[in-house]
Amino acid sequence: MSVDGIHEVIGNLYKETKQFDLAIKHFNKSLTVQRTNFNENRESSELNVLDSLAECYEMLDDYEQCVKYYTKALALTNVDDHTIRVDNIVRILILIGTSYALDSKLDLAVKWFDRIFELDNQYPTLITNERIVKIHECLGNIYTENNDYTHAIEHYSKQLELLIKLNKATRERKLHIRQTLAELCKQKNDLPLAIHHYKVVLTLQNQNFNNGYSGRLARFSKKQKRQQTNLAYLHYSIADCYEKLFDYSDALTHYKTILELKVIDQSLLADAHIGLGTIYENSTSEKNYLLAIKHYKKLVVLKLKNYNQNMSNIARYYTGIGWCYCKLKENKLGLKYCEKALNIYRECSESTDDPCYTNVYATLACLYYQINNYETAWIYCDKSIAVMKDSFPIVKYEYPIYAWIYEVYGCIYLYFKDKYLAIESFKESMNLFQKHQPYPRKEIKRIQHSLYELRLNNSVEDEVYEPVRKKSKIK
């Protein structure tokens, strides 16, 4: 055996025993000897040693050196030779790209992986489709990690398309890729496309569920429960997308399905009740307010079972119940639940200016207005707006509760016959409602009517209740 061959064998022995520093030492000696002595098989032997050096540096997490030796190996490979050479190039390009990806140098990783596509365009018959599928998957992973959802979706889609074309897409693999595409589309805010992918996954999952348990329910009961939970999570994802698209009818359908599946995941059940309660609360139907109360109360029961539950969440649900009772004109019940919320907030927060108080203050403002306690209603309007302005550095129309507060202001001014400030408050309320989605027609129509009545009688001299006017700046 030649001297360079002996060093290569010793290097391999050290590599197998994970003594990588010693392995590197002997591989380098092998290279030195090879380059000193002429050998007709030198290129092949040198290529093997360079690959071994790169592998050692990869195991040592020294990716710069790893890339250095893979690149040297690449320089020895001539694509004009034959298929094996092309395969070596692709293999090394994949290893270099992977090394950069592991080293979080994602732009460089993409650069090396893209060279494979250039090679495929030049020699379309020499790179296997399985390799191309793998490259699309790698690039999808890299772009996802880089939060480049557009390119990630592009590569995962090509991966799926090629797998289907090759008839090598197993049900499980299609499920995984579709699920990934759905999540990426949701991140990109392409909600219709996310829903499309989620529904394909849902169809495949239902097929798995139905095929796996026909006549064998008892035997696979644990697996069945796990698949039921997976189905429920898919319904939640679809419902969430529909809700963000203001398609509340379809969102309700999928939230209800979660409850019908009777999963044991308490967190998922709670999320379904939150979705249902929120949608019903934001409607204008008396029946829906009652349904919102029903779901919020179930939510409270679920959350109270969890001893580690953040009590501020319970307070938010009590506030939601109070608001629904307010809309139903059940003022005593509304005040009762708002008081429960306030008691929890007082225990949980150090300051009454904490942002958690925003909605409960606003709800109390509406409730006190409805029982004709205008002074207290005014106080809570001021408190709610003060907390929001101090806590949220965003435009106020993103919080529809503002619109309700300005309407209450307008009603109080109107009661005290301060028509100018009443008109200004109603105009601000209508402006905020008009910017809210979904478009609240009933509320806008009500405020338009109030403004119409005020303007009809605008020629009559205002009778101003002075103590109100003195503290009555529009916020």
pLDDT digits (tens, 9 = 90+) for 23-54: 999 999 999 988 887 665 666 788 889 989 99
pLDDT at 322 over 80: yes
Determine contact, residues 15/52, Cβ cutoff 8 Å. Answer: yes
Residues 6+ apart with CB under 8 A from 255: 235, 236, 239, 272, 275, 276, 279
Q: Which residues of 210-245 are buried (b: 16+ CB within 10 A; e: fewer)?
A: eeebeeeeeeeeeebeebbbbbbbbbbbbbbbbbee
For 77-126, write each residue's pLDDT tens digit. 765 555 666 777 788 888 888 888 888 888 999 999 998 888 888 777 77
pLDDT digits (tens, 9 = 90+) for 202-246: 998 888 766 655 444 444 467 777 888 899 999 999 999 999 998
Q: Are 101 and 138 in contact (CB under 8 A)?
A: yes
Q: What is the mean pLDDT of residues 246-264?
A: 92
For residue 438, say if its preceding peptide bond is cis, omega within 30 degrees of 0.
yes
CA pair distance 21, 449, nearest whole angstrom = 84
Mean pLDDT in residue range 417-421: 87
- Tens digits of residue pLDDT in 118-168: 888 877 777 888 889 999 999 999 999 989 999 999 999 999 999 999 888
Segment 170-212, tens digit of pLDDT: 888 989 999 999 999 999 999 999 999 999 999 988 887 666 5
CA–CA distances in Å: residue 438 to residues 296, 433, 454: 22, 9, 27
Is the pLDDT confidence value at 253 over 90? yes
What is the pLDDT at residue 96?
86
On average, the pLDDT of the chain sits at 84
List, for residues 260-316, the tens digit of each pLDDT value.
988 888 889 999 999 999 999 887 788 999 999 999 999 999 888 775 667 888 999
Pairwise CA distance, residues 182 & 278, whole Å: 24
pLDDT confidence of residue 357: 86
Indicate the SS3 state at residue 147: coil
